[in-house]
A and B are shown apart, each in its own frame.
Chain A
């Protein structure tokens, strides 16, 4: 198996059944996993922040950093990989955790989740599975051959999404 590692603000799409796409230590970031059941094309995006208006230069250089530029970029890459725009993509979400902050000023995780869901709703896409929030840092891997999404967290083992 070949691993493709996705860093913060990056995304990857593959149709190669010998590959696994993985991203580490999501923290408050959110992992968006999309799959075209017809072509088997599968993508993983590591969103750091909700809105690109805080740094448009970065949005141009690394669109995956923000929910509002990352999701369109991921879908564009999916089309390049064979998604023809017909039929539904399956979507799974994970990450968006936070430290304990009663006033939510530092709760970037929650803001990321809301922004991503709002954009997906606008595209008439909803997640079929999600493992979000809380105070645990998650890593996520998606196996291109089966579409199986596996979450892991240090000290907590791993589980399927």
Chain B
């Protein structure tokens, strides 16, 4: 799984991107290790004043605190749970990368972040359904949260091309939006995201999940359970209407998920409801 060849302008754009913060890098490496403890997580976040303050603020909000005052980072982490802590910490350490408007996708400010957060919630639930899992729910959550990071770069290279891309999909000269990105910019957002993850020196499973989230069957076999959990979570999120708008539903299902995740129609529908319910409870705290 080596670097992918990308057009020069995109490659240069990736190289000009800021590095991910040290705290975020430590967190992502920690979650990649299934044996980590909550204590390890506390050690990382309590050293970042900004993240620690945000965790305390959210933990003391009416929804999370339920009347109990939380005064230490350790208690805030225990109270919020690992997934919520990761969302807050990653949101705080990626700056406006996930929240700015994305011209090439006709997406307003916050559109990508909302999509990532719902997909992360879905990935956590889907990972728990994987047969004989090697993947943990928190790994799937983190991977889904970062899977579309490539859009933050590719959006600039697709600006002004939306009409042409839509036409290529409608006339079936492109199979789906991923294919249309490839035709237009010479790369798709999954490949671009994989390169960003490589530049950030993220753990290998994360790079693979970002790079193959639309076509897990093309990824490394030993990571299939993670890749398919993220893929299915992405699809469920899109069915619920949460995407960038222009491309929300314009993707193809990779049916290889069937070998790893037992899903029938009622279970898919229940999952969608559960994910939307959980998102509606936490969105105002995480998306602020």
Contact = CB atoms under 8 A, between A and B. Distances in A.
Interface stretch (B22-30, B61-69, B183-191, B268-276): B268-276
A105 B252 CA distance: 13
A111 B249 contact: no
Interface string B87-130: 00000000000000000011100000000000000000000000
Given A154-B106, A154-B246, A155-B166, A99 B241 contact: no
B265 to A, nearest CB: 6
Q: Which among A55, A102, A106, A153 has the greatest number of chain B C-beta atoms within 10 A?
A: A106
Interface in B215-273: 235-236, 238-246, 248-253, 255, 263-266, 268-270, 272-273
Contacts of B156: none
Interface residues of B, number: 37
Nearest to A156: B166
B74 interface: no
Given A25-B241, A99-B239, A65 B273 contact: yes
Interface residues of A, number: 33
Contacts of B268: 105-106, 108
A108 B270 CA distance: 11
A136 B162 CA distance: 14
Contacts, number: 104
Contact of A105 (B162, B176, B250, B263): B263
A102 B241 contact: no
B266 A54 contact: yes
A8 B238 contact: no
Contact of B265 (A48, A55, A105): A105
B285 to A, nearest CB: 18
Nearest to A157: B163
A8 B245 contact: no
Interface stretch (A13-21, A26-34, A68-76, A142-150): A26-34
Interface string A94-121: 0001111111011011010000000000
A58 B248 contact: no
A65 to B, nearest CB: 7
Nearest to B106: A154
B249 A99 contact: yes
Q: Which among B236, B270, B272 has the greatest number of chain A C-beta atoms within 10 A?
A: B272
Contact of B249 (A24, A48, A98): A98
B166 A102 contact: no
Nearest to A105: B265
Contacts of B246: 153-156
Given A58-B273, A100-B252, A105-B263, A28 B241 contact: yes
A158 interface: no
A46 to B, nearest CB: 9
A101 B250 CA distance: 11
A90 interface: no
Contact of B241 (A50, A65, A105, A137): A137
B245 A154 contact: yes
Contact of A99 (B162, B165, B253, B276): B253
Interface in A37-95: 48-50, 54-55, 58, 65
B251 A99 contact: yes
Nearest to A101: B253
Interface of B: 105-107, 162-163, 165-166, 169, 176, 235-236, 238-246, 248-253, 255, 263-266, 268-270, 272-273, 276
Interface of A: 8, 24-29, 48-50, 54-55, 58, 65, 97-103, 105-106, 108-109, 111, 135-137, 153-156
Which 3 A-B pairs have CB atoms at the shortest separation, nearest pair first? A27-B241, A154-B245, A25-B241
